[in-house]
Each structure stands twice: as structure tokens, then as C-alpha cells.
Structure 1
Amino acid sequence: MKAIHDPGRVLAQGLADIRTQFAVPQGFPPEVLAAAEAAAARKPTDHADRTAVPFVTLDPTSSTDLDQAFAIEEAGPDLLLRYAIADVAWFVADGDAVDIEAWKRGETLYLPDGKAGLYPPVLAERAASLLPDGPRPAIVFAVRIGPDGAARLDGVERAMIRSRAKLGYATVRTQDLPPAFPELARRVRAAESARGAVRVDPPQQEVVALGHDRFALAWRPMRGAEEDNAALSLACNLAVARALLAHRTGLFRVMAGPDDRAIARLRQTARALSLPWPDALDLKAFERTLDAQDPAHAAFMTAIRRAGSGAGYAPWTPGVEPWHAAIAALYVHATAPLRRLADRFVIRAAFALANGLPVPEAVTAAFQRLPEAMARADAIAARIDRAAIDLAETVMLHGREGETFTAVVTDMDGTSARVQLEGLPIVARTRAPDAQPGQRLALRLDRADPARRTLSFIPA
């Protein structure tokens, strides 16, 4: 759960209730654990020896389910990214107990107080995780990044790798990373800008104590190493997407941009946050002016993320372009197979095609089933995220009942007004039959109920 961090466990009881409400799995069935233990003992036999390549991982410091390791070298004017991805398919076979359970889950569910994994820990946090405590089997993508930032897939192989270091976003030093790491990220960002892409990565919200049972939501922006690391995954996923499309197969990540109504609502949200958004500037151009270090900008970035129609998955279909509006390109998910079911099958297809093999029938069939399975998993994850944010908001405002807040109407639905509180990253609804979008309202907090995760405002 990337939206809320709760180091003081202020939200503990509420999070327990969320787990119960959404039936978040607690552990795995015995037969799945037994199958995972047996799979973890499987010795790699089809893997080239790439243990001499100086791979490292870069993740949140506490992470143990490490999907990716990387090494970067110069290749003339290009940069060659060797991107090692956990070889989950080596351990999980189609139709086995672990695979069946993974199809039920779809993805790892994250909450501020822990996660419910897609795969049992013996695989996700040990045998398949690219930890630096010994050789691990991986699928290594060779991705060539040109001076203009364009990414091309040079090859895909099964290999044994040995990570040199488990680096953390909060503690990594420049000298720990490959020398070309920042240049590669710069090239990828330049290519994004050239094609008009804008990826919105809102900072994390953190519950902080103010004393006397008062709490607030503060923003923790993404660190530079975190943003640069995301560029590596982006480059690899773009290169894989082009390769799959060229062979008329694949499972693509697709997303439409915000519609006119959503953009109008965003303009009112910007007004509520006192962000000057010139009428002549479109949303993408305005997004490029945002600074995640600024709390108001951070709140608006979160609003943008919520404003879109949502991303989904689509198999290759003749005559249909699988477009991702935010990335402004063809895009796939292939770099987090320990956390997303779909990635395992995209990786298998890319490996087959890069090595002159037919895509397995089981993979092609999975591409047809995965959109529904992933949509179901994404919906549950989104509802859990929303519930956790609602909980944090009610905890933050609990005890402030009776106070008056200024809010801006961002949208109307009959007599119900959707409002953005000024200066706070909180969206709520109130009855306001005569309100108009853009209008400022004085609202009194009538109730902040952490048990029900609800806020109630009435006209002051």
C-alpha cells in the first residue's frame, strides 16, 4: 500500500477491520505452502552463468521480495541495461497449486501494516527473490538505450545471477550505483518528454502525531534514486512491448486520459489548492510544472491519479492499438512477476520470441483470461487503498468536530457536491443543492468517524 505509511501504528485497529472487510488473505492454504516448498528446492538447469555481471538491486530498504536487479554498461553511444527479473516461471508451473492460488489473488495486496503476497514467502522472499545471499535464477533482458532515450530489446536469456548489493532508496549512495545509472534515467525521461508523456507519481502520505491525540497527513516525496530506478523498469517494459507487438501477441497495459469532465474537476481542485493553472495550459503541460516537494502540488498529483478512467490490460487484438495515454506509448508489465500475475506470462512470451521459439499455448490462452483476473485484483487493491486513505483522513480530523473548513466544489451530482478542502489532501461530499463547480463553501465538520471511515460536513 503505497499511499499511507503508519510507523506509529495509529491506524492498527482500523486496518484490522479493513483486512476483515475485504477478506485479505492471511497466509496460504497448506497444499499451496507444500507445493511452494517443493518448488523452492528445484535446481536451475537451463540457465547461463552470468554471476560475473555486477548486478545490484534497489528497493525500499525493508523489501525482501526483490523482482529486479540491474547492471549498466556503455556500448558506444548507447547504454546497455542488463535487467534481471525474478524467474518465477522456473518455480511455478501452469496448473500447479501455487499457480491456481496466484490466479485467485492476481497481485500482492499492500496495507500500511503489511502485505498479502501473491506467492508464498518461501518463493517470493527467498528462492525466487534476487537477494544478495547467493546465485538466483533470473530472466535477463538486454535493453539498449540510445542517446535519444529510445529503448530496444537486444535479447532475453535465462541466467544465474548474483546480486552484489541490496541497496535501499533511503540509504543508497551515488558510488553504490553503476556510473551510468543517472545518465540512463536522464535519457529515459528525455524520451518521455519528447513524446509528450507525463507519469504522475504522487508522493507517499504519512501519518504523523501532533500530540494530544491529534494527527496529520504529511507528504513524503519520491527520492531521486526512486525516480531514477523507475526509469529502468519503464525502459524495459517499453522495449518488451514493441517486441511483442511486432510479433502480434502480448498483454498490454492500456489507459485512456482524463475526459473533459475530469479535467474541469481538476481545474477546480487546483483552485482549491491555490495552484495557478492558466487557461491556455493543457493538463500535461501543467503537470510538468508540479513539484512533489510542495504539499499542495503533491495533493494535486494525487488528484490527477484519481481523475483518470483507470488503467487496464488488453491482449493483442488485430486492428486495435493498445495505447497507454499517460506514458504516450505501447506499454506492458514485465518487471514485477513476484507481485503481479500478468508479468509472469508477458516474460514467458518475450523469452520465447527473443529465442526464436513459439509462444506457449498456455501463455496465449492466459492473455485472454488475464484482463478480467487483473481487473478484479486491481479493483480490490484500489478499494483497500481508498479505505486506508479514508481511515487516515478520519483519524486526522477526529477531535476537530465543530471546526469550520473552507472547501471548493469540484463537481456536482444532483444535490450532492464533491469538494476539495483547501490546504488539505482531503476530498469529501456534502449536501449543497445550489452549489456550482468552482464555488467556495464554508463547511462545518459534523462527524469524523474512524470506525466507519466516514466524514460528514454540513454548511457552516
Structure 2
Amino acid sequence: MPDRLPTGTPPARTGGLPDREQLRAFIEGATGRIGKREISREFGLGPEHKAALREMLRDMALDGTLAPAGARRFRVSDRLPESMVVQVTGTDADGDPIAKPVQWDGEGPPPTVFMHPELRGRAALAPGERVVARLRRVGPGRYEGRTLRRVSDAPIQIVGLFRTLPPDDPAASTPARFRPAGRLTPADRRAKAEWVIPAGEDDDAPDNEIVIATPLPQSGPGLHPARIIERLGPQGDARTISMVSVAMLGIPHVFPTEALAQAKSARGIAPAGRTDLREMPLVTIDGADARDFDDAIYAEPDGEGFRITIAIADVAWYVRPGTALDREARLRGNSVYFPDRVIPMLPEDLSNGWCSLRPDEDRGCLFVTMNVAPDGATSNARFGRGIMRSAGRLTYEQVQAARDGAPDTTMQALPPGLLDSLFGAWTCLTHARRARGTLDLDLPERLVRLGDGGEITAIAPRIRLDSHRLVEEFMIAANVAAARCLEARHIPCLYRIHAPPAPERLESLRRTLDLMGLKLPPVGSLRATDLDRVLDSVRDTDQAGLVNELILRAQNQAEYSPEPIGHFGLSLAAYAHFTSPIRRYADLLTHRALLVATGLEPGPAPGHEALEEVGEAITRTERRAAQAERETLERYGATWLGARIGTEMDGHVSSLSRFGIFVVLDATGTSALLPMSALPEDQWHHDEKTQTLHARDTTMAFRPGQALRVRIEEACAIRGTVLLALPDVAPRLRKRRP
């Protein structure tokens, strides 16, 4: 990209993210190629605006305001482009679909796109579906469209709960040949309507089955018809819950034959040409149910400090650029973890086999050794390619019990002093963490326990131990060392970045905390350590959960980028993921770059443009995985609570709205809704300034963080929603949800 402004561009100005019209005017008035760098200079944007700017440019390209002008360059479009993404909104009098641009900020109503019927053999376009369409203008505000491809690269699918037709359904009285087999309730909470499954299109699915369906052409009014194409399992079986999110979000879970064959042909690594670490008692520390062990650690005293070693599975040896394994790993971006299964980034022959650092087995690794001073400063980092032999597969609970004075036989068999050295090095590293002033959010995680038959036996908070923190600090130290090594050698790197929160978010947070009696400095001088000081002040109080959640909401999401803008939450100038290449593609790219940087492989390393493209892709897959894991936990929670309708539980208010109160249940961590209809008869007012919901005629009021005793009123397992009631309030008449 050019290092100067395009010819004729006025001097840069400041004032924050421009609106769409300002951005359009700038691009239209400038000569030369315009990209994100030129826009950032023009409007004085900082790293905290990067994500919002990218989203705005994407939306403006989708709705036709901007058109591509080369790689990551833009020009103003005077009409809808030749092809773009449109969304089906309905049908015309002949039953053919009508669509609109996905985004529209122009004057007047958006253009109407009259879509041609789909080719024979392809499912008809259904309302809500998005496609890339080739457009032809046929008049002012009118276009014809032909489908080039569906955005999902596959026919639209509806994941939901199939219910056979009950006897009291009005359709049950229709003649047998017109009588539908049942109805489908979509798992997507945004979907308002059910689908009808015509007779013969139910794939013999029984009542209460979770299924995948595809739309059928509609010949008349009424519910849209669909055909069941796959049965996932009965709703009561907890093992089908995770597959709902997999199907809804399109997470790849079947490996191509070629990738499986490459993984199966993998073999062990010979020690020739590698540093032999097999005599070093490296240990892995993971969860009790983990099967892919990609990092091992060791520490020994060194003067007043320690010398630590972090060894990471040598995935780059097995997954070479451009192979079927590499293409599939990049497509998946990361492994996805559910209570009952893992959707791995790599086939099991590698992820749980040759790449996994199993105890007492020779394994290839990339390693880094470094000195840790008493104040936590690290120095003399050295990277290498080695062969190792794990001395122990340890769990967090084992390590913590041994630290607390109750070692089991596995811990007793380790070399004397190893545990003390590991915790000693960790103590030093925490000194540096505190000195940097990192943001240490304490967000409760939920642990779902399943019985042998797949039933949910418990949902409880996951306890965070010092052994978790130990491993975390070792991994951070290794990731920082990787970023510094690549920077020093001027090798392009895919950094893990976390931009500072946008000023407007911080100001809103500051005002909210002020109402709670918690003070933050002015936005311009605020640092991560200021936020952490607030967290420390409420630790172990009733406000802790709410304050952690408020501060989390104010943050930007972390992402991957070749631009080294730093990591706000960790207060680090350079940070790159290096320690989990079995489950994250970003780490594999860091390994490849380090091998080039250290002369262990010839290269070349990927360039800046290639890294930017893959960084955006794997940021999306990471967020998709987080959404899948979150929604799955919500469905597990609703399934478990569905068997406890009428039970009273303790919770606390997490947020308020005009339509109800969101409550987090203390026992399970599940978020549930206490709707306005469940409150006592009164006139309720939601005061956004004071973050309260209060009644006009009584003293009753609700505020974030407030403890509540609630009753489980309804639970929809397929959608993961839970409705609550107050134990002492009689329910009002209301439409019950499906």
C-alpha cells in the first residue's frame, strides 16, 4: 500500500469514525487508490476503529455504495454492482422470489430485485435466504437477478424440532392426501414462524426429533413447506444438542478423503537434526477430558530466577502448505469444543495421535527456552526444533492438589523439585503481569457433566485454579517470545491483537460504573490497569459478576492481523499465538514463520497481504466457534432446566430492558428472561440513565447485580431459552412460547 495520501487529498483530520456519507464523499472526491490506510489517515482513526471501519466498508460494498477497485481498494458506485449479495424478502404474484440489497442507505426505498426461478433440481429460494446474484437494471429502482451462488455454498437449511401433527391441530381434519406430517419449530430464535412438513417429506422422523430440513416450493398461502433431509436425534438425548449448532452455523465436521489419507500416512519423527530433549522432564497439564496435548513445560532454578522451556507439538512437520490437510485446517480455522465432543481442526490420527505430546512417547516439537528474572522479565529466548518425551500427562486438579500438599502417585513419581520450580517461575511471571497492569476478567465458565447414556448429570461453574494460571503465564511468555523473534528478524507475522475500547464505549462504561460508586479516570487517560483496579475493588462482592460483564461488553473483540497494534487486555506491544497449533491455524502459521526466521526451513514465509486475508478468515471461524459453544451451553442449560419446571432458584440481575429482566441463575450460570408479564400489575419504567426498572405505584425496583429468587416457568430446549416467574406473583395471561 502507498505510504502517502492520494494526490489531491486534503490534510488529515480527526474526530473519530466517519459516517457512511462522509466516507462516501471522501472516496468520491479523492484521486488515486483508496484503502483502509488512506481512510484511517484522513479521519485520524486509531487501532480501536479498525474493526468498525472494516465492517462499514464491507457493508457498503455489499449494498453497492462502493465497488472494488483492486485488492482492498474501493471506488464509489453509482448503481448496484453487476453482482452482489441480496436477501429474499417474499414472492411476487407469480410466486417468484423478490429480493433487496442486504444493506441500503440511499435516498428513498431500496431497489427491488426480481429473481429468476432457480434451475431445475435446485430448491426454491426461501424468504430470508441470501444469495450472490447477477443483476441487470431494468428500470429506476428495479433489477432482474439470477443466482450465482448461495451465500452458504449449499441449499438453505432449517435446523429445528419436528413434531408430528397432534389430534387437535386444525390440519388434522383435512383429507389424508392433503394432511401434513407435522410441523418444524426452527432452532433459530430469530425465526418467528414454523414450517410445515408435507406428508411423505418427513424421512420417517418420529415425534420430538431434531432434524435438518430444506425448503420446498410454496404453491399457496400458509406456512412454508420443507422436506426433512437429515435426522440428528431425539430432543431428549443430550448428545444431539451440540450438533444443532454445528448444523446451524455450517461448521465443517467431515474431513475430505484426501486429508484423512494424508493424516493416516503420517509416521513418527526421527531425532536426526533435532535438539534432543528426551532427558528433560517436560510435562503436559490439561483438563481431565483432554485428548490433544500440544504443549509441555519445564522449569529449573537459574541463579535468582529460573530457566523455563515450553515445547509445542511440531504440527508444521506434518501439515505442509498447500496440501489437503492444510486447506482443511485453514477452512476450519480452529477446533470447536462441546461438552460431548470435539470438532477438531486436524484429523484424529494427528490431533490425538502423532502431534499429541503423549507421555512416554517420542514426539517432534518446536521449543523455546528463556530466562525468567525474579521480577518476571524474560530474556535470552532461543527457539529450536526438537524431539521430546513427555514425563507425565497431568491434570489441573492433580497439580493443584499436589501444590496444596496432597500429591497422588503420578505427582510423586516426578523429579523432586519440579513442581516447586514450575510454581516459582509462575510467581515471577505474575510479578511482571501485575507491573504491566493487565485486564484480569473473572468470567464464570460453565461445566456440563454427562452420564454414560448422554444424560446431563450436572451443570456447575468451572473453578479456576492456580494451576490454570500457571499454564496460562507460561503460554503467554512463549507467545510474546515468538512475536519478538519474528519482529526482530522482520518476518511478517499474524499477530493476536486486541484494540483498545472505542472512546464512546469507555465513556458509557465510566458513567454506568459511576452510578455504582466506582470511579474511572477520564477516557483519554484510561489504561487496562485502571479497569483492573475496579475489578479488584469489587472482587468477592455481589457486584463482581456484573462489573466483570460490563467491562467485558466495553471491549473490542480480539482478532488476528499482520498489523502489530498490540494487545490491550494483556498490556503487550506484540503478541502472537504459538502454543496451540493442533487446534488453531494461527499458531501453525506462527510455527512456519519461526522455522523460516531461525533458518530451520527455507521459506519464504507468507507475506503481509496473504496474512491479512487469512487473519480475517480465521477470526471469523474463531467467532463462529465461540458462538457455537455459547449457544450449545444455552441449549444444555434449557434442557436441564426443562426437567425442573416449577423449581425455585437463586439468581442475579444481569441486565434490564423494556420487555423484561435478564437473570443469571447462580446454580448453572444460565441466562434466563423474567418477562414484563411476570411482574406485578403496575406501570413499569425502564430508566437507562440509572440502569433501573421501577414501578410507579409501589417501591418495587430492579437493578443490575440485584439478587433474586425466581421460579423456572418455561424452557425451550431447541432454542436454548428459559422463562422465569417470581414465586410470589400470580402469572398473567400471555401467549406461551413454543
Settle same-fold status: TM greater than 0.5. Answer: yes
* Between 109-118 and 417-426, the greater mean CA deviation after superposition: 417-426
- SS for the counterpart of 2:582 is coil
Shift in Å, 1:288? 2.9
Deviation sequence 1:95-150 (CA, Å, 0-9, x none): 11111110110000111111011111111111111111321110111122122112
Q: Secondary structure at the match of 2:245?
A: helix
CA change 1:202–1:163 in 2 (3 A) is: same
What residue in structure 2 maps to residue 410 of structure 1? 655
> Aligned equivalents of 1:297 and 1:167: distance in 2?
32
Larger RCO of the pair (alpha carbons < 8 Å, separation 6+): 1
Correspondences of 1:287-306 after superposition (within 5 Å):
287-289=535-537, 297=544, 301=548, 304-305=551-552
2-structure distance, mates of 1:179, 1:450: 47
Question: Could you tell me how far 1:216 is from its partner in structure 2?
Answer: 7.1
One-letter amino acid of the structure 2 residue matched with residue 339 of structure 1: R
SS in structure 1 opposite 2:334? coil
In structure 2, the partner of 1:226 is: 468
Partner in structure 1 of residue 722 of structure 2? 455
For normalisation by structure 1, the TM-score amounts to 0.82
- How far did 1:218 drift? 2.5
CA 1:35/1:138 → structure 2, altered by over 3 Å: closer, same or farther?
A: same
AA aligned opposite 2:655: T
Quickly say closer, same or farther: Cα 1:423–1:100, change in 2 above 3 A: closer
Counterpart pick for 1:64 among 291, 295, 299:
291
- Alignment pair present for 1:278 and 2:278: no
Describe the shift of the 1:295–1:332 C-alpha distance in structure 2 as closer, same or farther (beyond 3 A): farther
Corresponding letter in the other structure for 1:436: D
Cα distance between partner residues in 2 of 1:183 and 1:214: 39
Q: 1:358 to 1:15 in 2, by over 3 A?
A: closer
Alignment root-mean-square deviation, CA: 3.7
Instruction: Supply the distance in 2 between the matched residues of 1:34 and 1:338 (Cα, whole angstroms).
Output: 18
Indicate the structure (1 or 2) with the bigger Cα radius of gyration.
Answer: 2
SS at match of 2:631: helix
What is the percentage of aligned positions where both structures have the same residue?
26
Is 2:439 the counterpart of 1:186?
no
- With 339-348 and 393-402 compared, the bigger mean Cα shift is at 393-402
2:568 pairs with one of 308, 325, 328? 325
The one-letter code sitting in structure 2 at the alignment partner of 1:327 is L
Uncovered stretches (5+) of structure 1, i.e. residues with no partner = 1-8
Distance 2:580 2:447 in 1: 25
Structure 1 residues 247, 48: closer, same or farther in 2, change over 3 A?
closer
Residue 300 (structure 1) shift: 5.7
- Would you say the 8 A contact 2:593–2:605 is kept in 1? no
- Tell me, which stretches of 5 or more residues in structure 2 are unaligned? 1-235, 404-411, 522-529, 677-683, 693-700, 703-707, 730-738
* 1:396-419 superposed Cα distances (whole Å, 9 cap, x missing partner): 54344697998647365xx55673
Greater helix fraction, Structure 1 or Structure 2: 1
The aligned counterpart of 1:360 is: 604
5 Å-filtered alignment, 1:4-403, equals: 11-40=238-267, 43=270, 45-152=272-379, 154-172=381-399, 173-174=402-403, 176=414, 177-200=418-441, 202-207=443-448, 217-248=459-490, 249-258=492-501, 261=505, 278-279=518-519, 282-289=530-537, 297=544, 301=548, 304-305=551-552, 307-316=554-563, 321-329=564-572, 330-355=574-599, 360-362=604-606, 366-398=610-642, 399-400=644-645
In the aligned structure 2, how far is the partner of 1:336 from the partner of 1:280?
Answer: 36
Which residue identity lines up with residue 410 of structure 1 in the other structure? S
CA deviations over 1:251-298 (Å, ceiling 9, x no partner): 111113455547856997999xxxx76346953112235658x89746
* Number of residue pairs matched by the alignment: 438
Q: 1:299 to 1:182 in 2, by over 3 A?
A: farther
Q: 1:119 to 1:246 in 2, by over 3 A?
A: same
Residues in 2 aligned to 1:186 and 1:134: alpha-carbon distance in whole angstroms: 30
The answer to whether the 8 A contact 1:348-1:363 is kept is no
Contact kept? 2:296, 2:311, Cα under 8 Å: yes
- Measured after TM superposition, the shift of residue 59 of structure 1 is 1.0
Judge conservation of contact 1:416–1:429 (CA < 8 Å) in 2: no
Equivalent residue letter for 1:46? G
The TM-score, its normalising length taken from structure 2, stands at 0.53
Displacement of 1:385 in angstroms is 2.0
Deviation at 1:190, TM superposition (A): 1.2
Cα distance in structure 2, aligned partners of 1:246 and 1:284: 31
Q: 1:201 to 1:117 in 2, by over 3 A?
A: farther
Provide closer, same or farther for how the CA distance between residues 290 and 218 of structure 1 changes in structure 2, counting only shifts above 3 A: farther
Paired with 1:269 and 1:448, the residues of 2 have a C-alpha distance of 33
Distance in 1, Cα, partners of 2:673 & 2:501: 21
Task: Give the Cα separation in 2 of the matches to 1:277 and 1:421.
Answer: 23
Amino acid at match of 2:596: A
* Distance of aligned partners of 1:160 and 1:402 in 2 relative to their CA distance in 1, 3 Å threshold: closer
Provide Cα deviations, 1:148-177, integer angstroms capped at 9, x if missing partner: 112235211111111111111122334644
Aligned pair in 2 of structure 1 residues 153, 121: CA closer, same or farther (>3 Å)?
Answer: farther
Among 406, 413, 436, the alignment partner of 2:687 is 436
Tell me the secondary structure at the aligned position of residue 171 of structure 1: helix
